Amino acid sequence: MDVETLDIVIVGAGISGINAAYRVKTELPQHSFAVLERRAEVGGTWSFWKYPGFRTDSAMSLFGFAWNPWASDLNMAPGPLINKYIEDSVDAAGLSKAIRLGHRLVSADWSNEEQRWTLRVDVTGADGTVDTRLIKAWWVIFTTGYYSYEKPLPAVIPGIDRFQGRVVHPQFWDQSLDYAGKRVVIIGSGATAITLVPAMAETAGSVTMLQRTPSFVMTLPAHDALYGSLSRLLPSSWARQLHWWIRMILETLFVLYLRAFPASGRAYLLSEMRRQLPKGFEVERHFNPWYNPFEQRLCFCPAGDFFQALHRPGVRVVTDVIDTVTEAGIRLKSGAVLDADVIVTATGLYFSLLSTAAIRVDGEAINDTLGNRYIWNGSMLEGMPNAGLLTGYTTATWTPGADVRTKQLLKVIRHMDRTGAAAAAPCLDPAERARLGDNPAITLSSTYIRSAIGRIPKVGDRRPWVFGSCWAVDMWRYLTSDVRQGMKFWGSR
């Protein structure tokens, strides 16, 4: 079997992978690289999900790439438009030749003797045949996100097998499903449910969002007036860059305010929701969560479409616990019955890092020990040489977090280029490990995160074992950090 040799391999061609590819191409032009994408198209999340109304829940001015800013005043774009934007960004950056579609990473084995990764890749041809190829890579950068494409979060719904109507999960939406005039019950209260309600209410006979616990929901304008004003006053490139900085400052301050003053933040969010909901709506019951703002992800809706939907006859929110699903609907613990023709199980994601590939370091399996490893500056895993693990923010806009972590990773590679080191891995001695504590990198109280605690890497409370959630702080850490702190370098190229 022929073996290809590359300097850097990026796994995943979603928004994080495309961003990493651009940074590698522009900041490490001397290194060969490729992007492996197991699906037949780029876009990751944005080409995968197909449920009605699928869109981002972040403002596109920040969710887009800093190097190719979103050039529209549309604030929260639908999935197909985001995917088109990603494709256009790939073309604009000249990344197409580096992206290999239909390439699924099966395994990655690090050899300290070779000081290289051996990647086993299944390549699906145009005729559907699968060939296995080997790639020797100096560095591997994982940008596959943090959820499984193959399965959702397992949810125990008593009696669901008895239901005589249709059951569909948003992650595997059947686009042939006709719900016009049907009674729909959406189980869930997260971003997916908040998106589905107004989209399905357009044609469904009735829509009920059944939630066990409430969420905070906040409205963003459908169109960004600030971008429109700046684009009229300034050259396009200036307007987009200035707009990005203004929005980043505003988001940072907003998140800091809600987290520093949760009681005030809660009061503000409740007052905004109460203003948009029908008169007499039980806001305290249905939209006043037990947790503080940003302890779970804050849900956003464009132009208040979710709240507007609740003004429609037949659209409602029910906060209760399922007793059992019957042949014709759902019976609740309170004794109430929800009649249904369609049940949508928007019950969450299955947390999964490193995709489905088997990762080994000198024969030691990494996948099953993620919960015992610390994250180094948000970008590498303890004891995993020449490998990046890049994700974005979960309590703020994803892309700025992915970008600053990519920069931190490339700073390590540039140091290795200068010094001639062949390998680098974050290292902790037992004494320091004992001082760091035992905190998961992601502290959201969402069910899908709580159920995955054993699979989430750890973080400490000091550099470099941190996993920040604020772009300004993380950028300062990137600019002032010493890559030698907490890092072991060895060998020579």
| Residue-wise pLDDT tens digits, 452-468 | 677 788 888 888 998 88
Confidence (pLDDT) at 227: 87
| Residue-wise pLDDT tens digits, 99-111 | 999 999 999 999 9
Instruction: Give the mean model confidence (pLDDT) for residues 198-210.
Output: 97
Q: Which helix (H) or strand (E) holds 84?
A: helix 79-92
pTM across the whole model: 0.93
| Residue-wise pLDDT tens digits, 45-92 | 999 999 999 999 888 999 999 999 898 889 899 999 999 999 999 999
CA distance 356 to 330: 35
CA distance 1 to 351: 35
CA distance 27 to 21: 10
Asked if residues 345 and 155 have their Cβ atoms less than 8 Å apart, the reply is yes
Confidence (pLDDT) at 441: 72
Residue with tokens 């029908």: 278
pLDDT band per the 50, 70, 90 thresholds, residue 318: very high
Confidence (pLDDT) at 95: 97
DSSP alpha helix (H) spans, 293-439: 305-309, 398-419, 430-436
Confidence (pLDDT) at 344: 97
Percentage of residues in the chain having pLDDT higher than 90: 71
| Residue-wise pLDDT tens digits, 110-149 | 999 999 999 999 999 888 899 999 999 999 999 998 888 8
Confidence (pLDDT) at 445: 60
Residue with tokens 């208040």: 304
The phi and psi torsions of 198 (rounded to 5 degrees) equal -65, -35
